[in-house]
Amino acid sequence: MTNLIETLAGVPPASKLGEALKKRAEILRLSEAAHDAVLLPRDPGGLSHALRAALAARMCRHVGNDELAAHYDNYLGHSGDLDVAPLAYPDGKSGETRLDAIARHADLLTVAPREATRGDIEALKAASVAEPDIVRLAELAAFVNYQLRVVAGLKVLKGVQ
Amino acid sequence: MSEAINEFTAKVPTWSPYVTPVDIATATPAQLAAMKVTPSNTGFSPYVLTLAHDPESLEVRSPLFNLIMYGKDGLSSAERELGAVGASIVNRCVYCAAVHASRFIGITHRTDIIDTIFADERDATLPPRDQALFDFAAKLSTTPVEVGADDARALTEAGLSELEQLDLVLSAALFGWANRLMHTLGEPRA
C-alpha cells in the first residue's frame, strides 16, 4: 500500500531509491500511524481535529510545501469548523486568545525551534493552554516537521538519481 | 538546584521539563500502556512522563525511533548518530546533541569530530564523508529547507548507497521531531 510520504515524494518504485524505500516499509507504515495519532487522535484533548489540521497546513506553508498543505486543508474542510480555518495560513488569526497563542507557538516550533525558551511555555500557560495540550501541540509540530523533511529529503535524492 | 546548560557538550546532562509530567499514580490506562508500565517496569524518565500527556503519539514514536536509529543494514549506527547531531546543532537541542554525540564517540572514538562540530557548528570542517553527511543533515533541518542537488550529489560522491542516503534523511528528519520535543518542552541541567 502506498502511503502519504511515498505519494508526495513520487519516487519511482523501480529505481534504486524506490527499492531502498521498500526496505524501509515498516518505517513508512509507522510514520503514517504517527500522522493519524497527531491529526486524528481518539482523545484530542483541547486541540480539536479541525485545529490540528489547520495548524498542520500552516506549518506546511511556512516550509513551502503546498501539496502537503493541501492534504491538511482537505481534513480541515471535512471538519466543517470555520472558526479555526484562518489559522491554516501563516498570518491568519482566529481572534481567540488561546487559539492565537497556540498558532504563534506552532510558528515558533516550525520556523525557529532553536529560539524556544521556558518563557514560551509560560506564555502558553498564561493564555489558558493546558499542560497536556502544550505536549500535544509539540508532538503535532514535531511530527509535521519530520514529515516535511522526509519528503523534502526524498525529493532531493530522487532529483539526482 | 542544578544549573541549566546552554552550551553544547558531549557530557550527557539530565533533562528537566517546563510542564508537570504525568504522575504514574494517577495515569490513565492509555498513558500506562504507552509508557509500557508493568509491575517490573515502573522507572521512567521525566521525558517519557512528560510525553505521556499524549499517549497516542508516544506509543507509535518509540518503535519508529528505534527502527530509524538502530535498524539493521544500511547506514552505520555512527553515521545515523552524526545525522542526529547535525539536526540537533541547527535546532540547538543541547540535550539531544549531547546524547547522540556521546553515542557517536562511543562507537567511533572520534572525539575530534565532535569537538570540531561543537566549536564551529554549521561551519565545521570535517573529513569528506563526515562533511557530506553532516552538511546534508544540517541543511535538511533548516526552515526553509536548504538542502539541494549539490548536497545529494556530495553523498553519492562520498560513496553512500541509495539505502544509506535514505537512512540519513530519516535520521536527520527524526531529530527534527525529537529536537522539537526535547528542546522546547524542557531544558538540560548539569
Q: Do A58 and A87 form a contact (C-beta atoms < 8 A)?
A: yes
Q: Do A93 and A103 form a contact (C-beta atoms < 8 A)?
A: yes
The CA distance from A105 to A124, in Å, is: 8
Identify the band that residue B2 occupies on the pLDDT scale cut at 50, 70 and 90: confident
Chain B stretch 27-56, residues whose beta carbon is closer than 8 A to a beta carbon of chain A: 30, 50-51, 53-56
Region B66-82: what's the mean pLDDT?
A: 96
Q: Do B185 and A138 form a contact (C-beta atoms < 8 A)?
A: yes
Distance from CA of B109 to the nearest CA of A (A): 28
Looking at the DSSP assignment, which residues form a beta bridge with residue B38?
B41
Best mutation target, B22, B59, B60, to test chain A (most A CBs within 10 A): B60
- Above 70 in pLDDT, residue A2? no
* CB-based contact A142 B178, cutoff 8 Å: yes
* CB-based contact B169 A139, cutoff 8 Å: no
- Above 60 in pLDDT, residue A1? no
Give the pLDDT score at A81. 87
**pLDDT tens readout for residues A92-102:** 999 999 999 99
Give the pLDDT score at A29. 96
Angle between helices A97-111 and A131-159 (to 10 degrees): 40
Tell me what percent of the residues of chain B surpass a pLDDT of 70: 98
Give the pLDDT score at B1. 57
Tell me what percent of the residues of chain B surpass a pLDDT of 90: 92
| CATH number for the domain harbouring residue A100 | 1.20.1290.10
**pLDDT tens readout for residues A36-65:** 999 999 999 999 999 999 999 999 999 999
Question: Grid cell 539530565 — which residue?
Answer: B14
The CA distance from B151 to B146, in Å, is: 9
The CA distance from A139 to A30, in Å, is: 15
**pLDDT tens readout for residues B99-111:** 999 999 999 999 9
Average pLDDT taken over every residue of chain A: 96
* CB-based contact B180 A109, cutoff 8 Å: yes
Chain B stretch 110-149, residues whose beta carbon is closer than 8 A to a beta carbon of chain A: 140-141, 143-145, 147-149
Using only C-alpha atoms, chain A has a radius of gyration, in whole angstroms, of 16
Contacts of B61 in chain A (CB under 8 A): 34, 139
Give the pLDDT score at A161. 80
* Domain boundaries, position A85: 4-159
- Above 80 in pLDDT, residue A135? yes
Q: Is the ipTM of this structure higher than 0.95?
A: yes
H/E element, B188? strand B186-189
Contacts of B166 in chain A (CB under 8 A): 17, 20-21, 24, 154, 157
What superfamily does domain B72-177 belong to in CATH?
AhpD-like (1.20.1290.10)
**A78 near B CB under 8 A:** no
Give the pLDDT score at A82. 84
Across the interface, of A27, A152, A161, the residue whose CB is closest to B140 is A152
The CA distance from B114 to B5, in Å, is: 18
Identify the band that residue B164 occupies on the pLDDT scale cut at 50, 70 and 90: very high
Report which residue type is found at A17. Answer: L
The residue among B17, B18, B72 whose CA lies nearest residue B45 is B17
Q: Can you list the pairs that B154-158 forms with residues at least 24 positions away whose Cβ atoms lie under 8 Å?
A: B155/A157, B156/A160, B157/B132, B158/B128, B158/B129, B158/B131, B158/B132, B158/B133
Nearest chain A residue to B89, by CA: A114
Q: Do A2 and A146 form a contact (C-beta atoms < 8 A)?
A: no
The residue among B13, B188, B98 whose CA lies nearest residue A118 is B188
- Above 90 in pLDDT, residue A109? yes
Region A8-14: what's the mean pLDDT?
A: 93
Cell numbers representing residue B48 in the block: 517519557
Number of domains in chain A: 1
**pLDDT tens readout for residues B171-186:** 999 999 999 999 999 9
* CB-based contact B56 A37, cutoff 8 Å: yes
Q: Which residues contact A58 (CB under 8 A, 6 or more apart)?
A: A87, A88, A89, A90, A92, A103, A106, A107, A110
